[in-house]
Chain A
Amino acid sequence: MPENSTKTAPASARGLDFSQDLLAKGWYHSFEFPDGSAIDGYMPLAVEKERYARYPIPADLRGKRVLDIGAWDGWFSFEAERHGANVTAIDCVEIPTFLQVHRRLRSKVDYRILDFYELPAAGLGRFDIVFFLGVLYHLRHPLLALEIVCGLTTDVAIVESFVIDAETWKEHQDKIPTLEFYENFELGNQYDNWSGLTVACLLAMCRAAGFARVELMYAGGNYAGVACFRKWEAAPVQPAAPPQLLFVSNTRTPGNCFSSRKSEEYLECVFRPVPDREIRPADLRLEVAGFGTRAIYAQRREDGAWAASFRLPPALDPGWYPVRLRLADTGFSNELRIAVDVPPGGPKQIVIKDVCDGKSWDRGQVSHANGGFVSFWVSGLPENRSALDVRATLGDFPLQITWMGPDEPSGYCQINARIPPDLPTGSHAFRVQYAAASSEPQPVQVL
């Protein structure tokens, strides 16, 4: 935050300019020290304590890692440390007042000077609790910022931000959430304020960032505070029968492989409630790698099972992760696995068992008249399999793979594909390739 004067700035469109008060006090946070002395900052101690008490933070933080992003003078960092936490505090510039309190308290808080967007690569690990207080509206990319915060959190993030409708948000809950964009000095006469969200927008962005549950804890004045949980609430003590999780796939491309290089990855889960019932997205509690993720939609399929899609939780390291599902009133289903950034294995041999028309199930043929769907069964694919790595061809024509199943007990997996509309009728050699391995050709009649 460069501290240049703003004499030529236009009149502030939103009052919030406390820079004069802050300058007069010299401190933003207030402190009381064990020896009885005190520092009187812009924010009274009582307000700090009230803010801290507002959030679901355990009183005993021993064994917990806490990250305080944008710590300023550090009251929240030192308060969490006083409760036993192992605290890391981040700021974009070194604040001498933080260091002063750090010395006086003989604090062990790990103080780092980092740009916010440097956080994911800073190697700090993950934190049980993240404080993200009064920072969001200073950032140019608010949803990205919340994704980064989500990726750093294992339990709960406390997000407090300037909002534009803290006193009136209940009156327009039927409207589309909005945010104001501050190109220059529109907010508080400071040019490093970028966005002002409505309360509804803040909640929606926290959900879209990947948190499982988002609870509004406070709205008033110009601020709102939100608790963002990575995990679902505990399953009921006497749960109903869990659903049966049949299948998990990447919605972008059939298969169980996911890439962290894609900005939006979604899982499609196929499941059956036991007994069968109607499902709304809000009923679903999917867990990936132990983190909860929200359903975006749910719909019944033609075969009576349900399909629902969920956002892949952010910032997963490369590896295999368990996926399981419960409904609000049930326990968890069976577990399936997905692979994130796992390099595709090289199969030795690919064997085709059966090829048939996807509608009529007639073997050895596929018919344009039936829509040009083909189903085949292959063995030899690695467990992490993506349609992007599979090449199925009829003669010289590549087929578009629409579905890839798991290995069945027979050791073969079903793959569905569509033939191109300009594929000539007659006999073609059908082949499946994966990495360097290729099946033996099989003749298939195109009708």
Chain B
Amino acid sequence: MPSPGAIAARRRIDFSKELAAKGWYHSFELPDGTLIDGFMTVQQQKRRYAQFPIPGDLRGKRLLDIGAWDGWFSFEAERRGAEVTALDCVELPTFLDVRARLGSKVDYRIMDFYELPAAGLGTFDIVFFLGVLYHIRHPLLALEIVCALTREVAIVDSFVTDPEDWREHTGEIPSMEFYELDELGNQFGNWFGPSVACLMGMCRAAGFARVEFLGTGDHHAVVACYRKWEPPPAKPSKQAPEVLTVENARTNGINFSTRKSEEYISCVFRADREPVTPELLRLEIDGFGAAALFVTPEGGAWRGTFFLTPGLDAGWHTVRLRFADSGWSREFRIALDAPLSVERLELKDVYDGVAWTKGEVRVGERGFVSCWVRGLPENADRANVRVFLGPRPLQVNYVGEPDTEGCRQVNALVPSEAAKGEQTIRVQCGGTSAETRLVVQ
């Protein structure tokens, strides 16, 4: 919590007068020898840039600079060979001036930050998100958007409330200040001041696989946010996890929806080691890493739960898991925003799931029914295949892979209070259904 003089202290972080006097935020040394003397010195800019864990040679890399201002970081990345897109919410004549003088090809776009996902810019190997986060009303959403645009690493630099002493209170719950008006630096348009721990926690929660602290200085902190795990060890010392299922933690199915703001992947696996901690787990979805939220023992195996990584396109995605010190498991597939298209269903056979008697099910405390269904789509799962006994929906607990004839096994629980006698059993998926008779005993 800030001290009583906190508001006054925050108001003092006001460089608007110096900036107005200089006219420029960034400084430049142009090839013709011209010097532009801005609020930041070229030396400070170079020192900042040198902190970033990005290659010296950026040829072949796409780079996005969000909130480019006068553009020093954009033009520096271009100088090193990157194909740069620079973004700002208003057009700055100073940016255009330098771009013209450098003969730069930087693609300069004016848009609101939240227009980015729909702007069709594609994804970027490297994203600079420097001095923007605290100007944004929805910081975690902003970091999710940045994460979805990044393929390798995003450099996040933000105002923070505790750059000097953050290491002294790492045991506390991370927090941020909220600025309703002009409390920070006498400027409207500053919304949040996170602590260093809060900034890093939000970067992780946004969906980056790894977040590294790079440094602090002058009210700011810089972190590197990686989309990918470090490479697996060349000689793994441990056996890879044996993954049994990969499923949506909400539905237990294999379908995921980008319309849901929080989708979690659950992964059940066997491990020949103990303990298994979240820090050991490296889940990968189409090459992007997802960190484990938690892991719990489950019937001799383990269940790890992970935040579905943002920025995936609609369609099928490959999921695999390793430990920090192992190679990869086998691959599983999940479907994202996949339509459920079913032409025709055929309910071939129904069995008691325990006794395997055909056309009947014995219900004691409860019963199990196994249906053999042809025509289910590839993305049929426990959540979108429904089984009804008469009018009553049953709990579906298994949808198998297709056999050689294209039939899939669908298992459901029959509760003890189910009416006895001959009834209709109906399997439904994607608006189509098939039914047959079943004797309940």
Contacts and interface: CB of A to CB of B under 8 A. Distances in A.
A205 B178 contact: yes
Contacts of A140: 140-141, 205, 261-262
Contacts of B262: 140, 192
Contacts, number: 133
B259 interface: yes
A118 B257 CA distance: 12
B98 interface: no
B308 to A, nearest CB: 12
Interface string A249-271: 00010000000011110000000
A139 B181 CA distance: 23
A264 B137 contact: yes
Interface stretch (A25-33, A182-190, A335-343, A361-369): A182-190
Contacts of A178: 1-2, 175-178
B112 A141 contact: no
B175 A2 contact: no
A410 interface: no
Nearest to B252: A2
B112 A2 contact: no
Contact of B7 (A176, A182, A264): A176
B135 to A, nearest CB: 10
A5, A93, A181, A201: which has the most chain B beta carbons within 10 Å? A181
A133 B278 CA distance: 33
B112 A261 contact: yes
A274 interface: no
A296 B90 CA distance: 21
B293 A184 contact: yes
Contacts of A13: 173
A172 interface: yes
Contact of A181 (B137, B194, B264, B296): B194
Given A2-B305, A8-B277, A8-B295, A177 B177 contact: yes
Interface string A165-179: 000000010111111
A265 to B, nearest CB: 10
Given A181-B176, A181-B202, A5 B181 contact: no
Interface string B274-314: 00011000000000000001111100000101000000000
Contacts of A252: 90
Contacts of B115: 261
Contacts of B303: 4
A18 interface: no
A110 interface: no
Interface string A8-31: 110001100000000000000000
Contacts of B141: 140-141, 144
B393 to A, nearest CB: 11
B140 A141 contact: yes
Contacts of B3: 175
B64 to A, nearest CB: 18
Given A4-B266, A263-B137, A176 B205 contact: no
Contacts of B81: none
Contacts of B205: 140, 181, 183, 194
B180 interface: yes
A435 B4 CA distance: 54
Interface in A104-145: 115-118, 139-141, 143-144
A341 to B, nearest CB: 14
Interface in B29-55: none
A180 interface: yes
Contacts of B305: 2, 4
Nearest to B297: A7
A297 B187 CA distance: 11
Contacts of B182: 297
A269 to B, nearest CB: 16
A9 B10 CA distance: 36
Interface residues of A, number: 52
A9 B294 contact: yes
Contact of B294 (A118, A185, A204): A185
B174 A183 contact: yes
Given A176-B10, A192-B262, A182 B250 contact: no
Contacts of B264: 2
Contacts of B93: 400, 420
A214 to B, nearest CB: 11
A240 B188 CA distance: 32
B132 interface: no
A6 interface: yes
A180 B192 CA distance: 12
B397 to A, nearest CB: 16
B249 A201 contact: no
A71 B350 CA distance: 39
A218 interface: no
A231 interface: no
Interface in B141-199: 141, 173-183, 188-189, 191, 193-194, 198
B15 interface: no
A140, A177, A297: which has the most chain B beta carbons within 10 Å? A140
A194 B140 CA distance: 10
Nearest to A165: B1
B113 interface: yes
Nearest to A117: B261
A102 interface: no
Contacts of A264: 137, 189
Given A2-B249, A297-B188, A263 B175 contact: no
Contact of B261 (A8, A115, A175, A186): A115
A181 B201 contact: yes
A186 B293 CA distance: 12
B176 A4 contact: no
Nearest to B10: A176
B181 A296 contact: yes
Contacts of A52: none
A58 to B, nearest CB: 30
B177 A8 contact: no
A444 B296 CA distance: 77
A208 interface: yes
A223 interface: no
Nearest to A400: B93
A207 interface: yes
5 contacts: A2-B264, A4-B305, A180-B175, A181-B174, A205-B178
Interface of B: 1-4, 6-7, 10, 90, 93, 112-115, 137-138, 140-141, 173-183, 188-189, 191, 193-194, 198, 201-202, 204-205, 249-250, 259-262, 264, 266, 277-278, 293-297, 303, 305
A-B pairs with the 8 shortest C-beta distances?
A204-B180, A183-B201, A2-B249, A141-B138, A144-B138, A176-B177, A180-B175, A141-B141
